[in-house]
Amino acid sequence: MSGHQRRSWSGRRTSIVRAVAWAGVVGLLVAGCGRIPTSGPVYHYNEPDASASSASPAFSPSGPQKGASPSEILNGFIKAGTGVENDYSVAREYLTTELSGSWKPEDRTLVYSDDVKIDSGQSDQQATAEVNVSTSIDGRGIATSFRNPDKQQIAAKFTQVNGQWRIASIPNGTMLSRSEFEQLFRSFTLYFYDPTFSYAVPDIRWFANRSTVATSVVRVLLQGPAPYLEGAVATAVPNGTSLMRQSVPISNSSAEVGLAGAGVSDANQLTLERLNTQLEQTLKSTNSVESVRLSVDDKAVETGKLGDYQAATINPQVPSPQVGVLEGDLVTYADGQSRKVSGLAPSQVQPSMPTMDSQRRVYAYTDEDREHLAVRTTSGKALDTDMDESITAPSVDTNKWVWAGGSEGSVYALDSGGDSDEPQKVEADWLRNQHIQSLRISRDGSRALVVTGEGDNARVWVSGIKHNPQGAPESLGEPLRVGTTRNATQASWISDTDVVVANTQDGSVQTVSLAGETNDVNGLSDIEHISGGNGKDSIYAQTSTDTYALTGTSWTRVDTKVRDLAYSG
């Protein structure tokens, strides 16, 4: 293998806490920035402990004490932010009657890393809380993290009510310490879809885990996807749809979702079936919902009326055989056995770093210098292109487009079903002049997993893929930064929300959730290549001499001469 190619789950709670504490572990760029930032805020998600109970621990904050000073009232109000039940009733006791009715605690949650400092100011009628914010959750459950704590000042104004100081003015939202946040909040998965509604695309959000969380989840689902998925995914929710009532009651694990709006009132049966599926798949992430009873304008919606309707697939699996190279030929490999791929047109170059589609009908590979892209199909088609720059190992999406990233920041996509052997360039302004080391398309076909840079500048990103009306890839949207704590040089999907990353410089390997959880596995010196299948039990790695399979957190040597193994995709 050339020098260019070389360039190119235990202890769960511990790893979770570490991931949360890493400010800026996961990131979404501000829309329209068009460049990868080197400082500033990024959006952050984190996965809670799966063994945690479905209900958050109870906090019992105290209400205001008689004769308390404005500073004491502000401090008590901040502590009362842990009382999430009963619509933050204790926190509202610290507010005037007028403010209590208009204050919106869910608009923002500030997670602070140090003690809050309160400055009483020049008079009894004002005070300021100085907070070192590490994470901020907005009203849509999207969380912004900071690589360095963001010092914010929260100004409060006071007035006396019946001789007692109360807060008359303060921004919407609450403030929580890191430990309080970890106990009170958890991630929930919203689902949107690829343009054909064949595959579900996860969108992870954060909310206080309280009895009314189903209402919060449905409310933000109706508002659409997170910024990094806008334009890349579809929704069954018609424009202008809203909750009929401001609650989603749950009875016997069934959620009652009442909707209203001109679009949903006029929706056809297919849209209603998809909408019911989207609500049901999303609400199941609350762990308290198994089914949905949908109504529109207070009229029950009957689903299951379309005989050929199929719900979108969550976390599609890849077949177990991998593709690889053995003595200059493309082969499939599974269970210790390899078999030459038959029916392909002869290769013009020595195959290297191959991939295939999930039906094993389309195969793509590069030459050893990664300056040539070759596509072969079992129907006999052959497409060959000499590239203007060295490229990553190719990836095939659900529509059988072959993707690759360039060393100078270009993204290429070639239609394996078309007649042209010239890949089209996919717009990705944020990748301009970046060195792309790895690019893999998700199994739902809606997201690209991209590794950029080298050394301390290495970053792993997920970006939504925008398609034109004909279904051809058009551009990559602004990305979500994946929260690996390693300087990765390669990354591969192992599920719809998890990836495996490797650093070919120091041999480190890590599995990472898009929700922020990181899990280190044993390093592998001289690692050159990694491939990921269905979960952490189907991860393979290649060194200059051997191939290994991951078993738990350790590597087991595999007795095979097949090189450059890769699962489909």
pTM of the model: 0.88
Token duo for residue 198: 């064949």
Is 145 a residue whose pLDDT tops 80?
A: no
Q: Quick check: 453 pLDDT over 50?
A: yes
Q: In the block, which residue shows the tokens 């991860």? A: 539
pLDDT band at residue 105 under the 50/70/90 scheme: very high
Q: Say how far residue 113 (Cα) sits from the centre of its chain.
A: 24
Query: Quick one: which of 445, 371, 361 has its CA closest to 407?
Result: 371
Query: Mean pLDDT across the stretch 290-311?
Result: 95
Dihedral of the alpha carbons of 391, 397, 399, 405, in degrees to the nearest 10: -20
Q: What percent of the chain has pLDDT over 90?
A: 81
Per-residue confidence (pLDDT) for residue 148, from 0 to 100: 80
How high is the mean pLDDT of the chain? 89
- Most confident of the following: 27-41, 51-65, 290-304: 290-304
Choice among 132-146, 261-275, 462-476 with the minimum mean pLDDT: 132-146
Residue type, 94: Y
Could you give the CA distance from residue 345 to residue 333 in angstroms, rounded to a whole number?
20
**Mean pLDDT of all residues in 43-64:** 56
C-alpha to C-alpha distance for 85 and 74, rounded to whole angstroms:
20
Q: Which two tokens stand for residue 48?
A: 């809670």
Low-confidence winner among 256-260, 292-296, 457-461 (lowest mean pLDDT): 457-461
Q: What is the pLDDT of residue 46?
A: 37
Q: Is the pLDDT of residue 348 over 80?
A: yes
Can you tell me the mean pLDDT for 478-485?
Answer: 87
**32 has a pLDDT exceeding 50:** no
Q: Residues of 176-199 as b/e, b for ≥16 C-beta within 10 angstroms?
A: bbbebbbbbbbbbbbbbbbbebeb
The pLDDT, as a whole number, for residue 57 is: 61
pLDDT score of 14 more than 60: no
pLDDT of residue 102: 97
Closest CA to 136 of 105, 171, 112: 112
Which of the four pLDDT bands, split at 50, 70 and 90, describes residue 115?
confident
Pick the residue with more confidence: 66 or 135?
Answer: 66
- For 55, 88, 196, 449, 495, the CA distances from 203, given in Å and listed in that order, are 22, 27, 18, 15, 14
Which range of 8-17, 114-123, 277-286 scores highest in mean pLDDT? It is 277-286
- pLDDT reported for residue 56: 53
User: Is 169's pLDDT higher than 80?
Assistant: yes
More confident residue, 21 or 149: 149
CA–CA distance, 240 with 225 (Å, rounded to integer): 15
Task: Output the pLDDT for position 10.
Answer: 28
DSSP β-bridge partners for residue 177: 112
- pLDDT of the residue at 38: 32
Mean pLDDT, range 40-69, rounded to an integer: 61
- Tens digits of per-residue pLDDT, 355-413? 999 999 999 999 999 999 999 999 999 999 999 999 999 999 999 999 999 999 999 99
Q: Quick check: 7 pLDDT over 50? A: no
Note whether 499 and 512 are within 8 A (CB). Answer: yes
pLDDT at 44: 39
Is the separation of the CB atoms in 73 and 64 below 8 Å?
yes
pLDDT digits (tens, 9 = 90+) for 186-228: 999 999 999 999 999 999 999 999 989 999 999 999 999 999 9
